[in-house]
Amino acid sequence: MRVVRMTAVAIAAMTIAGTVESATGALDLMPVPAQLELGASALVVNDAFTVVTEGQGAGPRLDRGVRRMLRRLSDRTTLFFANATFLDLANHADPVLVVRADRIGRVELGEDESYRLAVTEGGIRLEAVTDIGALRGLETLLQLVVLDERGVSLPEVSIVDRPRFPWRGLMIDSSRHFMPMEVLRRNLDGMAAVKLNVLHWHLVDDQGFRVESPALPKLHELGSDGLYYTRAQIREIIDYAADRGIRVVPEFDLPGHGTAWLTAYPELASAPGPYEIERSWGIFDPTVDPTIEATYTFLEVFLAEMAELFDDAFIHIGGDENNGKDWLANPEIVAFMEANGYHEPLALQRYFNERVLAILTRNGKRMIGWDEIFQNGLPKDIVIQSWRGRESLYESARLGYSGILSNGYYIDLIHPTSDHYLNDPLPADAPLSADESARILGGEATMWAEFVSPETVDSRIWPRTAAIAERLWSPGAVRDLEDMYRRLDRVSLRLEELGLLHERNRPVMLRRLCGCRDTAALEVLLGAIEPVKVYNRGRLRAHTQFSPLTRMVDAAWPDAEPAREFGRAVERLREAGVTDVEDRTAVRRSLEIWRDNHAAVAATLTGSPGLTEILPMSAALAEVSVIGLEALSVAETGKDITRDWFEDRLARLEAARESHGQTELVVVDPVVSLVCVAAGRLAARAEECRPADDAPTAAGH
């Protein structure tokens, strides 16, 4: 076999999926494997494809995983496999694919997920220590499938792969907006496809208590509006996840974010109440009283019940954003603090955490919580989930505590994929020793649900979370943004095979908004706008749990590809001095399309009151495009311009940044660059030519 041998560093340097090609075309692997050898030939896949499983790990979970793989392979290729291919995984004399697992894996932190995959002209062999590792290899195998004019094939390849971090998660918030079972199932399938292994399930917050508690039934009866998961449904999700090698870690947020708890059991509150489910978003005062024994008697019952229901070793207690107001306003709590030397609410919260930790320990569970639970002196087996940033994560690691990073992975904040991709829990220059570095367990993407519904949540999770999955699985040296985006486009289409709605929900929403079939003009507009970033959506307009999430802002991409490609082309033109004909043509064509699109958008709005809020964005896009075309022409011809021209164009572009319909025009900065190129030396020292500063990105819950 002629091979190209690549270590982890070489994969990054050679951009494995971009420049290393086999006879069957470019590889579209995500996450990128740890090691790969690429040959010159290919294996043709046809109707005679058969599989056998072997080894002590060849149990029901692996068999089901193989059958899911076969179903997807058949559906994608339209190959008609024989019944025995699906039904018999043991008795084929000359199988095309042999899958071997040495033992049944445990769905727990640190389990072996490594695998070896070899494809030759004569067949495929997948070997793993555990059946979970074999499942990860099956996902890689599906990503290797090539469809072209020659039919279906797999490139000749040898892969040795393992995850960089053992904790690779996605948090889904079911409290703010309830997420039905089908949402969870399809997202678990998406997680498995990109090798994520933890579903962090945020089940309790001010806006809803979403888990059935037979022992304390008022919790789900009064705290959920009837929207909660039964114990049977929770077991179904746990089993569904385990079948894909994914852990389920539940979160029951305390002592703050306590409104739903106290709606059911107000006698545990720090303030008199009355309490009802919170319908809006923010940080609220209701907090359980940590000074009364009734609180811990209650939690003994509840946590014992949840420890029995959930299999994972960890229970997440939240612990975040307790403002302490109700504690400090309660004379009895203040007296308790003074008597015990607790000089601030954080010290009292440590007391609460220690009591809860003791309950969890008695029930065989480990504690995980947000940054606020961390105080030196707590047992070292707790895990800190950092939303404040790497420095707080590193501080806890230096003191002997394990942690995971979520800061920088807040996908609800609508940052571009590149920001998440380059955000590393443990970059090469991390100021930690080897022992301290080993305490960085990985990270989690967080899908807070204030502004998502079951219809839109997939579009906020995917495909960006696939890039986060690569950051947590692949070697740290894999950082090529352009190639990441190329592969991400392919992965996004494959994720649709699993029933995810991130691609298909947008045209459905646009047809509903305009009451029409021709949504082309709206699609063009969406290529240049995105939802506002960080927490600006809540600042621009008040929302509640019942507000519509069906507007243009909800249909918009978090990372609009047309705008991104336009920006890259402008960047290349600026670097090359507007000499590249291909980029120049692409930039001009985009600007012309956006300039001319406004009239079509205005026509589409007829009879569509839900779209009128977006009309100013369309008008602004047309004006920005006219300025961009003018600047491009000036840059091409070398025509002299005045300072007045320069300042006028920049002022008009700045005005175009104004948000409408809680969206923002994301092509303004590239057009500013064009104006600066046109201005030449006049703009060389101008502060105006710097891109607009990003808004603060501190992440709250």
Tell me the one-letter amino acid at 395: E
What is the spatial distance between Cα 202 and Cα 315, in angstroms, rounded to a whole number? Answer: 11
- State yes or no: is 212 an active-site residue: no
Can you say how many angstroms the Cα of residue 522 is from the centroid of all Cα atoms in its chain?
26
Residue 115's CB is within 10 A of a number of other CB atoms, namely: 28
Structure-token pair, residue 501: 């709605």
- Length reported for the chain: 701
What is the spatial distance between Cα 364 and Cα 400, in angstroms, rounded to a whole number? Answer: 21
From 111, 221, 236, 321, the catalytic residue: 321
- Measured in degrees and rounded to the nearest 5, phi and psi for residue 381 equal -90, 5
What is the spatial distance between Cα 199 and Cα 533, in angstroms, rounded to a whole number? Answer: 25
Residues 20/4, Cβ–Cβ less than 8 Å: yes
CA angle (390 as vertex; 388, 394 as ends), nearest 5 = 115
Residue from 654, 640, 626 nearest 683 by CA: 640
Tell me the one-letter amino acid at 226: G
What is the spatial distance between Cα 534 and Cα 91, in angstroms, rounded to a whole number? Answer: 56
What Å distances lie between residue 615 and 319, 607, 609, CA to CA?
A: 43, 13, 11
What is the spatial distance between Cα 124 and Cα 91, in angstroms, rounded to a whole number? Answer: 17
Residue carrying the six token digits 């809540």: 538
Residue from 193, 147, 244 nearest 498 by CA: 193
What is the spatial distance between Cα 628 and Cα 671, in angstroms, rounded to a whole number? Answer: 5
β pairing state of 151-161 and 115-120: antiparallel
The DSSP output letter for 638 is T
Residue from 347, 527, 551 nearest 452 by CA: 551
CB burial class (10 A; 0-12, 13-18, 19+) of residue 281?
Answer: buried
Residue from 569, 550, 552 nearest 561 by CA: 569
The DSSP output letter for 542 is -
Residue from 279, 352, 348, 358 nearest 318 by CA: 352
Residue 146's CB is within 10 A of a number of other CB atoms, namely: 19
What is the spatial distance between Cα 175 and Cα 189, in angstroms, rounded to a whole number? Answer: 21
Residue from 491, 478, 503 nearest 27 by CA: 491
What is the spatial distance between Cα 74 and Cα 84, in angstroms, rounded to a whole number? Answer: 14
Residues 473/163, Cβ–Cβ less than 8 Å: yes
Element (DSSP H or E) covering residue 7: none
Peptide bond into 463 cis (omega under 30): yes
Residues 600/586, Cβ–Cβ less than 8 Å: no
Structure-token pair, residue 462: 């995917």
Q: Catalytic residue numbers?
A: 321
